[in-house]
Structure formats: structure tokens, C-alpha cells
Amino acid sequence: EAGVTQSPTHLIKTRGQQATLRCSPISGHTSVYWYQQALGLGLQFLLWYDEGEERNRGNFPPRFSGRQFPNYSSELNVNALELEDSALYLCASSLTPWSSYEQYFGPGTRLTVT
Amino acid sequence: ILNVEQSPQSLHVQEGDSTNFTCSFPSSNFYALHWYRWETAKSPEALFVMTLNGDEKKKGRISATLNTKEGYSYLYIKGSQPEDSATYLCAFWSQGAQKLVFGQGTRLTINP
């Protein structure tokens, strides 16, 4: 069974540009979560999608947005990039939206903003 | 603001020794406590999800306990091996918050 996949692995953008990160969950998983790990910080919750709907978002500005497609894959968009957006972005999926199910993480996208 | 604290931040242990570390979380509005292992250059991997006070889970040499009334969980590793070297993350899901709140992690290094 294929795990969670993310693309691209690395992304280099300049300040002010837009970045698009993609995530494919494990087959059959309906929930997709996005996390940010900036340098020196822990994993911070960004967004949660389930069955195509945004269920929750973390304390991030509206520049961070995303969507979930009918096949449950997801996209994270970051507009008007700022230097502090440089981070590892992890996507995770779970079988159900229930908190008692573990999340399966992808390998991440390393975003560098120059 | 939900706060999840892990201690210690880092730990060096001799191969073969046993070790444990702590995750503290708010004791109110508890839903679930997750433990993940994150090895360098890999993805975080789920170890345990615990939901009931007094839960004890075991996977091989690794076990975890949960006390929701006082807001802490312990992770134990028995007979540490080099492959146990990783960062161990705990994460708390509270009623109403609708998200996992992660601790900063405990970085474990096993010395051969």
C-alpha cells in the first residue's frame, strides 16, 4: 500500500511569489492535515480537510489556503510569500476524522523563500 | 492556548539501557493523546493513540501510559538499540480544538 506522497520535495521561491504544495493521502483515507515546521519550532497545525470540506484551520494568516479534491488529494497554497514561510510542510492523512485514529505523514516539502 | 510540554528536550542513553520521557498536556477536555517517532530524513510514524485514562499500550520494546486526570503520559523504551535514535513527539487532541497540538519533542540518541 502506497503511503502519503507529497510534491515537490523542495521548492525555492522569492518573497512575494506564490507556492503550491500537493499531497496524496493513503488510498481510502478521507482526512488530510497540513502542518508547518519552521526552524527551531515544533509541528504547527495549519489546515484540516475531510470529505472535501475545510474542518479547521490553525493560527495562520489567510495567505495560507488550500483545498481537497474529490479524490481526497489536497493542495496547500501560500500567497505573497514571506521569508518566515521558509519551513518544512508536512501533510498527513487518516482513515477517519476521529481523533482516536493515528495520522500517517508524508515526507514533506521543504519550502525556501529568498 | 493549549500547551503540550515534553521533557527532557534531549537524552543520550547507552545501548542496552532503558529510558523514559514525559508528555504533559491540559487535563481538561481530553480526547486523545498521540505518540509519534520521527527519525532523521524520514516521516513521523505513529506509535500509539491513547484515549482512556489508565491506558497502557505496548509495541515491542516501547510502551506508553496515560493519566488524563493529571495530564501526563510516559513513553518507555526498554533495552535501547541504535535504531531507537529519533525524536519522539506527543500530540494532544482536545474536545473543541479539533486539531492535534504537538509538543516540541524529545530527541533520543542511543550511544553504542
pLDDT above 80 for A1: no
pLDDT at position A2, please?
Answer: 83
Considering only CB atoms, B49 lies closest to which of A56, A90, A102, namely A102
CB contact under 8 A, A42 and B89: yes
The C-alpha atoms of residue B43 and residue B39 are separated, in whole angstroms, by 7
Write the CB contacts of A59 (distance below 8 Å, at least 6 apart in sequence): none
Q: pLDDT tens for residues A63-88?
A: 999 999 999 999 999 999 999 999 99
Q: Once rounded to an integer, what is the mean pLDDT over residues A47-68?
A: 96
pLDDT at position B1, please?
Answer: 65
A66 torsion bin: left (phi>0), alpha (psi -120 to 50), beta (else):
beta
Q: What is the H or E stretch that residue A3 is in? A: none
Percent of chain B with pLDDT over 90: 88
Q: pLDDT tens for residues B64-106?
A: 999 999 999 999 999 999 999 999 999 999 877 889 999 999 9
* Chain A residue with the nearest C-alpha to that of B46: A102
Beta bridge partners of B74: B22, B65
pLDDT at position A18, please?
Answer: 98
The C-alpha atoms of residue A51 and residue A109 are separated, in whole angstroms, by 23
Check if the beta carbon of residue B99 is closer than 8 Å to that of residue B2. Answer: no
Query: Is the CB of B59 inside 8 Å of chain A's CB atoms?
Result: no
pLDDT at position A40, please?
Answer: 86
